[in-house]
Structure formats: structure tokens, C-alpha cells
């Protein structure tokens, strides 16, 4: 049976640890009101497509391991390929970046810088009223096509993943800055 003296010593040690942490700066934020900047090369949860630079070669569609990209391509009046329809199912996408790496132009498809792509309700689920199973009908809010994939720099910034020329325009990563100051604080206190 442990003595009362050992119990009191353990209690005081725990109290000392608690008191040491009281004066420290908080390392958490109130998400979603406050958001941290992620890495410039984040593989965000969005696909951005640039229609003007796309040569409709379908390399991104072939490179996708889960076939979440589908393209309908035809010949235009000038005998060049043009994309009639492109669809990306973000519910299937694993955001591996192979579509970006396989693009021969290097500027037609990007991963987005956003890391949240949630919806509270799947109001446009095609199987809800028809009785289809979820595999037959997909939530339309996570399937994007054509104009929904186009570049809109203000609302949907591009990630610097596999595109170092974009990285300099993105904000620095908040987590690294906070971690550096946190570690410096620990070193000043002699704890690390």
C-alpha cells in the first residue's frame, strides 16, 4: 500500500506541471473561425482546371488510379482536340497528384490550396428519391464538372504542389512559424 507521503509527492509534481503550462501561449485555434495557413505545397481537396491551356490529351484521365476524372473530347473546326466535357468526382479522388504530374503542358490542371471540402447536407443526392443505392447515385455536391473546375484565383487559390512558380505567391505555413516560436520558448525555459 503506497504511503500518504508518496501520494502527496505525486500530486505536487502534477500540480507543478500544470502551473508551468498556465503561462504559455495557446497552440490551438478556434477552427473554422480562425484558420491556419497550410504548407504551400499542400495537396488540397480541390481540382482546378484551366480550359485555355488544356490540349485535351486526356493524360490526366489516364493517370488517375481511381478513374475519378472523365473527359469527353472531340475535334474542332481547326482539327485540334477540344474538351467538350470534363467531370471530376471529388468523392472518389484520393488527391495523389498524378494528374498534375502527367499533364504535358504543366499548367492545365492544379490541386487547390483549400483543405476543407465539406457539405452539411447532400441535397442533390440523385438516389434519394429514386430509391437507388448510394453507389448508383452520387452526391452532386462533390462531383464537379466544366465551369465549376475553372480557375477563380480569389475564391479557389492554386496549390504549389508540383508547381514551384506558384509557391512564392502563397502565404508561409503558420504551423512552422508557431512551432519555431514554441520550441524557442521551450529552450529559454531549459525544457528542451
CA distances from 57 to 60, 73, 105, 112, 175 (A): 8, 8, 10, 21, 38
Q: Contacts by 55-58 with C-beta closer than 8 Å and gap 24+? A: 55/80, 55/81, 55/104, 55/105, 55/108, 56/80, 56/81, 56/82, 56/83, 57/81, 57/104
- Domain parsing of the chain, residue ranges: 47-189
Does the domain spanning 47-189 belong to CATH 2.60.40.3080?
A: no
Nine-digit cell string for 38: 497550410
Sign of the CA dihedral 148, 100, 80, 87?
negative
Q: Is residue 12 within a helix (H) or strand (E), and if so which, with residue range? A: helix 4-22
Average pLDDT over residues 156-164: 84
Range in 36-45, 127-136, 142-151 with the lowest mean pLDDT: 127-136
Going by pLDDT thresholds of 50, 70 and 90, the confidence category of residue 136 is very low
Average pLDDT over residues 88-101: 92
pLDDT beyond 80 at 1: no
pLDDT beyond 90 at 90: no
Please tell me the distance from the alpha carbon of residue 8 to that of residue 2, in angstroms, as a whole number.
11
Amino acid at each position: 500500500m503506497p504511503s500518504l507521503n508518496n501520494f502527496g509527492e505525486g500530486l505536487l509534481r502534477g500540480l507543478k506541471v500544470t502551473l508551468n503550462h498556465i503561462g504559455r501561449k495557446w497552440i490551438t485555434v478556434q477552427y473554422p473561425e480562425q484558420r491556419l495557413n497550410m504548407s504551400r505545397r499542400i495537396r488540397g481537396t480541390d481540382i482546378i482546371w484551366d480550359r485555355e491551356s488544356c490540349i485535351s490529351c486526356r493524360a490526366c484521365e489516364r493517370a488517375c488510379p481511381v478513374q475519378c476524372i472523365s473527359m469527353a473530347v472531340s475535334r474542332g473546326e481547326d482539327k485540334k482536340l477540344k474538351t467538350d466535357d470534363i467531370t471530376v468526382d471529388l468523392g472518389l479522388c484520393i488527391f495523389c497528384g498524378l494528374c498534375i504530374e502527367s499533364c504535358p503542358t504543366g499548367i492545365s490542371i492544379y490541386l487547390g490550396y483549400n483543405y476543407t471540402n465539406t457539405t452539411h447536407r447532400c441535397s442533390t443526392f440523385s438516389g434519394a428519391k429514386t430509391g437507388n443505392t448510394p453507389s448508383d447515385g452520387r452526391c452532386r455536391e462533390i462531383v464537379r464538372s466544366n465551369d465549376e473546375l475553372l480557375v477563380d484565383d480569389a475564391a479557389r487559390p492554386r496549390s504549389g504542389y508540383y508547381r514551384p512558380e506558384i509557391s512564392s505567391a502563397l502565404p508561409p505555413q503558420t504551423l512552422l512559424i508557431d512551432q519555431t516560436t514554441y520550441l524557442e520558448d521551450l529552450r529559454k525555459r531549459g525544457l528542451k
